[in-house]
Amino acid sequence: MLNKMKLRSLCSSLVAAALITLPVIGQAETPEAKGLAVFEEADRRGDGYVDSKSGMLMILKDKRGNTSKREMRVKGLEGGDKDGDKTLMIFDTPKDQKGTALLTFAHTNKDDDQWLYLPALKRVKKIASKKKSGPFMGSEFSFEDIGGSEVEEYEYKFLRDETVDGKDFFVVESYPKDKYSGYTRIVSWIDKEHYRTFKAEFYDRKKSHLKTLSATGFKLYNDKFWRPDMLEMINHQTGKSTVLESKDTVFMSGLKSSDFNKNSLKRAR
């Protein structure tokens, strides 16, 4: 089931994908340059988290309102200049998947490396990582939603300013460059104050509105990093939805690169 997960730097990005921020920009820019500037600033503001740990609860809802749960823990290590982020994700439930773990080395200039550990067989499998659009753990989040992304992987266009419930937003459209992406465009609502993504609409390959993501319960960590407590992804085509709650998030807890190798994958708990 976990075959071919595509997730980049999870901790920083699961959440960070939803938290895109913006620099102060000049007046005479093109919409494309202005859109790009928004995302570059978002990326800049996410820098410097060093490492992070958090627990996650995913609640899957079907059309009739039946729910099922997934629990996992995520550890992340911020990459340096040459290295991308490293992420270790450990599954606690469903119980038949307990102990399954996924190690990801994100790279900025080439495909990510991913290894999956199957505890029943004690086997580590390297994963061919081209998959992006498939569902993550049977949820409405796809691997590319969960994995976060680098600024360079999209083209952007600033659409308009908008005020919702007294809050000022930039509305920016982004277009994935990756041919394996499941989307043709994503429209994001980013608040002007802290450059956090409150809402995003995803359009599929047929250009129809597929999903809407909303983020709530933003909290400030280490006086620097805004993270939402809850993300909800609604699939308009199937009527299903997934809520993703994070808890016990800690930054700079002293994780080392030795916590992110194949041996640590095997003993992950």
Partner 1 sequence: MNMRVVAVLMMTVFSQPALALFEPLFDDGTWSAEMNGEWRYFNDPGEFGQSRSALSFSAQAEYYTDWNDGVDSFTFTPFMRIDQIDDERTHLDLREAYWGHVSDNWETKVGFTRVFWGRTEFLNLVDVVNQKDFVEGDTTEKLGQPLMQLSLVHEVVILDFYVLTGFRERTFQGEDGRLRAPIGIDTDNARYEGVDQNNIDFAVRWSQPLTDDLEMAFSIFSGTNRDPRFDFNYDLFDPKLIPVYTHMDQFGLELEYIYEGWVAKLEAVSVETPKESYTAAVGGVEYTFDGVFESDLDVTLIAEYLWDERGSASPGFFEHDLGFGTRITFNDEQSTEILVGGIFDFDTDEALYSLEASRRIGESWRVEILATIVAERGEQELGQTVSEIATILADSGFVADDLSAQFAIDLITDIIDEKGLLFLFTEVNTYDDFVNTLQQVQRLADTDRKLSILESDDYVQVEVKYFY
Residues making contact with partner 1 (CB under 8 A): 1, 3-4, 60, 62, 68-69, 93-98, 110-111, 113, 121-124, 126, 128, 130-131, 133-135, 138, 180, 256, 258, 261-263, 267, 269
State in angstroms the smallest separation of the CB of 251 from partner 1. Answer: 18
State in angstroms the smallest separation of the CB of 68 from partner 1. Answer: 6
Nearer to partner 1, 2 or 172 (CB): 2
State in angstroms the smallest separation of the CB of 41 from partner 1. Answer: 31
Q: How far apart are the first and last CA of the chain?
A: 19
Nearer to partner 1, 60 or 89 (CB): 60
Nearest-angstrom CA–CA distance, 223 and 225: 6
Nearer to partner 1, 3 or 216 (CB): 3
Nearer to partner 1, 30 or 253 (CB): 253
Residue partners of 237: CB distance under 8 A and separation at least 6: 204, 208, 210
In the block, residue with structure tokens 């805004």: 226
Nearer to partner 1, 68 or 216 (CB): 68
List, as own/partner pairs, every contact residues 249-253 make where C-beta atoms lie below 8 angstroms and the sequence separation is at least 24, other chains included: 249/52, 249/53, 249/54, 249/221, 250/52, 250/53, 250/54, 251/49, 251/50, 251/51, 251/52, 251/221, 251/222, 251/225, 252/49, 252/50, 252/51, 252/52, 252/222, 253/51, 253/52, 253/53
Nearer to partner 1, 27 or 258 (CB): 258
State in angstroms the smallest separation of the CB of 1 from partner 1. Answer: 4
Residue 217 half-sphere exposure, CB side, CA atoms within 13 Å?
11
State in angstroms the smallest separation of the CB of 73 from partner 1. Answer: 13
39 contacts 154 by C-beta, under 8 angstroms:
yes
Rounded (5°) CA angle 112-113-116: 130
The token pair that represents 88 in the structure block? 């270790």
State in angstroms the smallest separation of the CB of 48 from partner 1. Answer: 24
State in angstroms the smallest separation of the CB of 97 from partner 1. Answer: 7
Nearer to partner 1, 4 or 185 (CB): 4
